[in-house]
Amino acid sequence: MVDKSFLYPFLGVMFLLLGGAEVYGVRRFWRGKMFQQDAPSRSERFHAQAAVPDLWFEQQLDHNDPTNAATWQQRYYVNEQYFNASDPNAPVFLMIGGEGEATARWMHEGAWIRYAEKHGALCFQLEHRFYGKSRPTEDLSTSSLAYLTSEQALADLAYFIVAMNDKYQLEPHRHRWIAFGGSYPGSLAAWLREKYPSLVHGAISSSGPLLAKIDFVEYYDTVTRSLERYSADCVRAVRSAFQQVETLLKHMIGQRTLNEKFQLCDPVERSIENPLDIANLFEAIASNFAGVVQYNKDNSPHATVTIDEVCDVMVNQTIGAPVSRLAEVNRILLKQSNTTCLDFVYDKSIEEMRNTSWGSSQASGARQWTYQTCNEFGFYQTSNNASSVFGDRFPVEFFVRQCVDVYGARFGAESLARAVYRTNTNYGALDPATTNVLYVHGNIDPWHRLGLTESNDIHMPTILIDGTAHCANMYEPKDSDPPQLKQARLEIDTFITNLLAM
């Protein structure tokens, strides 16, 4: 499971798989995603588990063209530990991979493994095409990425299920498959049940955005609301800090102050006449708060800095003016990601994103996922109102421009509008034709604004967990989890029990 998320604050600094060494200018959280291997917990106690080998499935390149016989090798994992092959009704659980490399640790950890242990399930995880080691084409050129769509990914899952039924001699109507996914894979889990109900008996869709939307202005509105749960003073300080950044940009001394305070990779005075650079700068600073809010207090490797901590900084007047506190938040997050400076130069990031090699830093997911947003979903996390907390420097046009600059002129505003319309028509947006799907969200998570959080249909119930963030219910349970999260996991298990009793 990769953190839903979906998307991202900007091409400013591309995400790499970070090791212990410091990285120059690489941003940890980008467009609502962290393009690194996700893990089911921050605990070290599961690391001693037996290694889970990479397994490979021969997959069709193009499910839409039967005359195309090309195939490729798709990676998957399996855990047979809890599976009772002698039970004619033993279920099968499928963890759906998403917009990053699959992680073997999910085969021993996470709430889904606790459910598998209880219900005696056979567990699979299938890596998403074009991510991790599942590489259908020789490069990431735009022509190659034409094979990267949610529809192709769903067909991959369907073909995989049919093949595993055959390999393990599973009877489809007795050994029932239940799909799990979080963030974009949460959407896929619901859509898989919608499109292939004969293969998948049910699904748990966690933090999955169902509504494709170009201008996702609600994202930063939710970030603001989540900060306000800490205190109104925190939000006022953030607003004031962004206004002070605007003021400092108006003169040379202020510009040089920003260079030093925010540890900028390039002098901002060189970019004053370039609105794309300035937009990128504001979006990068805003994304510091977005990343903290999205993973706030999850039992996730991402959740190392909390809303409480950044708001403690923002209301601490001993640090100095609000802009100095904003710079301190930026310093903390740069240090957390072992990054030496904050990159914001637009042309530099566009050049990096145009790299089509599997060996590039962008191949960890940034180039692929950005293509999916330009070709199917939008999801652009904008701030386009001067009166809003984060200002008006990164409107939707800023993100659409990136589609054109990275993938070509045909990926412009009109194409994107058609793409989003097609996606919503294809899957039903917030009125999906699903049954046996449980939709789970946390109301701290900005992504819940594009998900299904209310339903009167008993066949697609919802759970909205107060005070939790992105995919919180999926991570390995711990004693310190809030009561409402523990209760949500109990309700999920009850839903699974009822599905299997049908």
Active-site residues, by number, are: 183, 445, 470
SS3 239: helix
Query: Measured between alpha carbons, how far is 474 from 142 in angstroms, rounded to an integer?
Result: 33
Scan for tokens 């710079």, then name that residue: 327
Cis peptide before 377 (omega within 30 of 0): no
Q: Which residues, 6 or more positions from 335, have their beta carbon under 8 angstroms from its beta carbon?
A: none
3-state helix, strand, coil in the chain (%, to 5): 45, 10, 45
Q: Cα dist. 160→56, 57, 164, 185 in Å?
A: 11, 8, 6, 16
Query: Measured between alpha carbons, how far is 38 from 470 in angstroms, rounded to an integer?
Result: 13
Buried/exposed code over 169-191 (b: 16+ C-beta within 10 A; e: otherwise): ebeeeebbbbbbbbbbbbbbbbb
CB-based burial label for 197 (10 Å; 0-12, 13-18, 19+): middle
Pairing assessment for the beta strands 92-96 and 177-182 based on DSSP bridges: parallel
Scan for tokens 């711990």, then name that residue: 478
The 10 Å Cβ neighbour count of residue 21 is: 6
In which element (H, E) is residue 124 found?
strand 122-126
SS3 345: coil
